[in-house]
Structures are given as C-alpha cells and as structure tokens.
Amino acid sequence: MRTGLEQFPDSGNAESQARERRVRWFMAGAALIVIAAMVSMSVQKGMFQRTTRLHSFADSAKGMVPGMAVKLNGFKVGTLGKLAMDTDGRVSMELLVSDEYVHLIHKDAKARWAKEDLLGESVIEILPGSGSAPIAENNAVIAFERARDVSEELSKLANQLQPILADVKSITAYVDNPDGDLKQTVQQLKRATTALADAGEDVSDTTRRNKQQIQSAIAHASNTLKTLNTELPRLIGRMDTSLRHVEGATADVQAITSQLAEDLPPAVSEGRETLRDTHDVVNAVKGSWPVRNMLPPQEERSLPLDSHVPNNP
C-alpha cells in the first residue's frame, strides 16, 4: 500500500514539469515573434542600413513626424529622423537617407514636404538637383520648401471660383428675368416658329394642289404622246405621198416652162409683126378717101411757150 501511495506524488511532479516546459516553450516562441517583429520594423525603418544624414530647416513642423518616409523620384530612400526647434524658431530636421541612393542627391537638392494624393500620407520628397553640382555628403544641409496642402488648394480654388459663381448667378438672374431680352427673344422665336409651321402647312397644301395639277398635265401629255405615236406614222405616210405628188407637179411645171421657153420667143416675134402689119393697114384705111371724110379732123397739139424739155442728167 505504501508503495502505491508513493507513486502518486511522482506522477504529479511529472505533469507539472511537462506543463512548465510547455509554458517555457510558449514564452520562448512569443519572445521570438516579438524579436522578429522588432527586427522587421527596424529593417523597414532602415535601422540596420548604413545611412547618410542630411539636414534641412523649415518654418513649421506642420504635417511632419519622425519616421515618415523620405522619397526620391517616388521611391522610398530613407526616413525622417529627429525634429527639433532651434533658438531662432526654425525647425531643424534630420533626413536619414540610405547610402545606396546618396549618389543621386546633389548639394543643390531640395527637400519638399507634400502629400502623395488628396487623402494620402505626408512624405518628404527630395528633388535631386542638377547633375553638375557635387554629390551631397554626410551632414550636408539642403534647402526646404513646402508644397501647398489640400486646405490651401481648396482655399485657392474657392477664391478662383467666387467670381465665376458671381457671374453664373448674374447670368441665371438675367435668364430668369421675364422682361429680359432673352425671354422676349424666346417668345418671338415661339411666335416665329408657329408662323413658320402655319406657312409650312400652306406650302404643303399648295404643293399638293400643284402636284395634282402637274400629275394631270403629265397624264395629258402622256395621252398626247400616245396619240402622236399612233397618228404620226400615218401623217408621215401622207406627207410622203403629197411630196411625191408635188415632185411630179414640179417636174411637169419644169417641162412646161422649158417648152414655153422654146416656143415663146418665135410667138412674140410673130405677134409683133402682126401688130405692125395691122397698124399699117389701119393707117392705109384711114388715109383712103371714103374713110377719111368720115373721121373727125385731128386736133393739132402745140406745146406752151414757157414749156421746155428738161435736160437729161
């Protein structure tokens, strides 16, 4: 019995020792996690990197806290170290820049406080300077400038918008004025539009009537053309017949004219001789005795004394 009772304390000690070992392992793991986190944060902050200290002076520490990022061309190259106020009221800042990027920064470089975007975090942006200037060394002093923050930009924008808003307000009042030129012009345009619509209806009616008349004229012309197409061949045939008759009559006239041209000169000559012979016979009869006494005496005609025969030109 005693032997069995002595075994219980031994088992209790083993369990407590195992529990203690688990606690020790847990605490060691937690310590390792904390140490790893601290190392990681230190690495991120560049505590284990070789850095070059650059100094700059600002009028105010507004928006700046130690540990904020220092960037060059958009890349993080360091952090903001100490912030202190000098005896003259200026803010002295220490920039810890990784030695890997110092060769890109020249003595005429500038440190500028700015925000990455409208709601982004504040950063110190280093402007590298001109390539002809020497490389910045440890504890070098560079100039500082502050970019306008959102409130300043909004204030500037508000100042620029005030005259524009005033102009918009005056324009709105001018547009809403019922007695203004714009309202009157709109009313006149409405009346002119109504008049144009009425005139358009009249023009449409006139166009429809003219269209009907034109269609009637086209139909009449079409019928006339059909009639011409029917009658024209017969008229052309008749004209051909008439032309042939005219050609025959012309040929007959030409033949008669040719015959007259041959017979007319001898007939004219014979007629002249017959008239001459007749005249001689009449004169002989008039001079015979019985006939002469039967004819009245002929009156002798004399010319007046002042008459004269004009000279032929």
Q: Are 113 and 122 in contact (CB under 8 A)?
A: yes
| Beta carbons within 8 Å of 63's beta carbon, 6+ residues apart | 113, 115, 122, 149
| Measured distance CA(154)–CA(119) in Å, rounded | 13
Dihedrals phi, psi of 101, to nearest 5 degrees? -115, 0
Dihedrals phi, psi of 177, to nearest 5 degrees? -70, 115
Q: What are the tens digits of pLDDT across the range 51-101?
A: 889 999 998 888 889 989 999 998 899 999 899 998 888 999 999 999 889
Q: Are 49 and 81 in contact (CB under 8 A)?
A: no
Domain boundaries, the chain: 51-147
Residue 304 pLDDT:
53
| Beta carbons within 8 Å of 126's beta carbon, 6+ residues apart | 70, 71, 72, 77, 95, 97, 105, 109, 110, 111, 112, 142
Residue 264 pLDDT:
64
Beta bridge partners of 293: none
Residue 70 pLDDT:
92
Q: Which CATH class name applies to 51-147?
A: mainly beta
Residue 261 pLDDT:
66
Joined tokens for residue 265: 């000169």
* Regions in the chain scoring below 50 on pLDDT: 1-8, 307, 309, 312-313
Residue 190 pLDDT:
81
Q: What are the tens digits of pLDDT across the range 115-140?
A: 877 677 889 999 998 888 899 899 99
Burial zone of 95 (CB within 10 Å; 0-12 exposed, 13-18 middle, 19+ buried)? buried
